[in-house]
């Protein structure tokens, strides 16, 4: 079983529309849709925005559905001038930029009393995603790198610069690292796939609504093709 998590309705509705033999089950106040996507058994959930919602969904996918893989698909703000709106970022790893225990002497982003704070993504899932993206989105640039997540829509140069300087991420969003951590705790391979909707700067609030749909189209096409290849 492959678990697929999107935060917002727009991120999951197009996948839901092409799933077959759908059944809906409810856990922790969310609908979990099981069925076939391009011939694969999947369970799809719209988890809601933010790290807590995301972690709960990943835990349900690992614990109740015993998923072998967890994929997080959606949109993100770019943290790198080379990465433009519409481009795709595939996670090499993920961390929480708003984990802050500096008051007790820990570096920003470090989770105290836990061996790992940067969660490595599955390279085999990433290779499949890359090949799938090249096939169905031939005009879209693909980047592989760090995803940094926090309970914050990043929309200022200043905040962006601080995150980039500290964490060297390729994109920022609000769920990926929480899913990564829950996947790591359950020993389930994961991948975050994000299409860029904005540049996480002072123009982010303007760009986000206009480019969101185009960005989502790229990630949905990629995930569908990935199911055929997996
Ligand atoms: N998702 C899409 N764009 C984002 C941004 N700029 N910050 C956080 N999450 C996002």
* 143 Cβ below 6 A of ligand 1: no
- pLDDT band at residue 214 under the 50/70/90 scheme: confident
* 200 Cβ below 6 A of ligand 1: yes
Task: Note the pLDDT of residue 206.
Answer: 87
Dihedral of the alpha carbons of 64, 32, 209, 218, in degrees to the nearest 10: 80
Task: Note the pLDDT of residue 194.
Answer: 96
Selection from 229, 218, 206 nearest residue 141 by Cα: 218
Task: Note the pLDDT of residue 100.
Answer: 98
* 77 Cβ below 6 A of ligand 1: yes
Task: Note the pLDDT of residue 159.
Answer: 98
* 204 Cβ below 6 A of ligand 1: yes
Task: Note the pLDDT of residue 229.
Answer: 96
What's the CA-to-centroid distance between 115 and ligand 1, angstroms? 28
CA–CA gap between residue 10 and residue 46 (Å, rounded): 9
CA–CA gap between residue 5 and residue 195 (Å, rounded): 14
Task: Report the percentage of the chain scoring pLDDT > 90.
Answer: 92
Task: Note the pLDDT of residue 208.
Answer: 84
Residues marked active site are found at: 11, 198
pLDDT in tens, 135-176: 999 999 999 999 999 999 999 999 999 999 999 999 999 999
- Tell me the best of 77, 160, 218 to mutate to test the pocket of ligand 1, counting ligand atoms within 8 Å of each CB and taking the most: 77
Helical residues (DSSP H) of 46-171, grouped into ranges: 51-63, 123-136, 157-167
Q: What is the pTM of this model?
A: 0.97
What's the CA-to-centroid distance between 154 and ligand 1, angstroms? 6
pLDDT in tens, 23-77: 999 999 999 999 999 999 999 999 999 999 999 999 999 999 999 999 999 999 9
């Amino acid at each position: 079983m492959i678990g697929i998590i999107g935060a917002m309705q727009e991120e999951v509705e197009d996948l839901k529309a092409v799933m077959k033999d759908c059944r809906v089950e409810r856990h922790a106040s969310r609908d979990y849709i099981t069925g076939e996507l391009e011939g694969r058994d999947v369970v799809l959930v719209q988890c809601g925005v933010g790290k807590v919602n995301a972690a709960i969904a990943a835990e349900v996918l690992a614990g109740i559905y015993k998923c072998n893989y967890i994929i997080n698909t959606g949109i993100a703000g770019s943290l790198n001038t080379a990465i433009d709106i519409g481009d795709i970022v595939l996670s090499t790893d993920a961390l929480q930029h708003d984990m802050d225990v500096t008051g007790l002497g820990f570096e920003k982003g470090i989770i105290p009393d836990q061996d790992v704070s940067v969660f490595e993504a599955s390279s085999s899932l990433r290779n499949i995603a890359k090949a799938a993206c090249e096939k169905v989105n031939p005009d879209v640039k693909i980047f592989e790198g760090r995803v940094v997540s926090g309970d914050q829509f990043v929309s200022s140069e200043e905040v962006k610069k601080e995150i980039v300087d500290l964490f060297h991420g390729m994109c920022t969003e609000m769920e990926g690292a929480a899913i990564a951590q829950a996947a790591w705790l359950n020993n389930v391979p994961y991948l975050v796939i994000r299409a860029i909707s904005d540049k996480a700067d002072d123009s982010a609030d303007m760009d986000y609504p206009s480019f969101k749909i185009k960005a989502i189209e790229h990630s949905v096409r990629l995930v569908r093709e990935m199911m055929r290849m997996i």
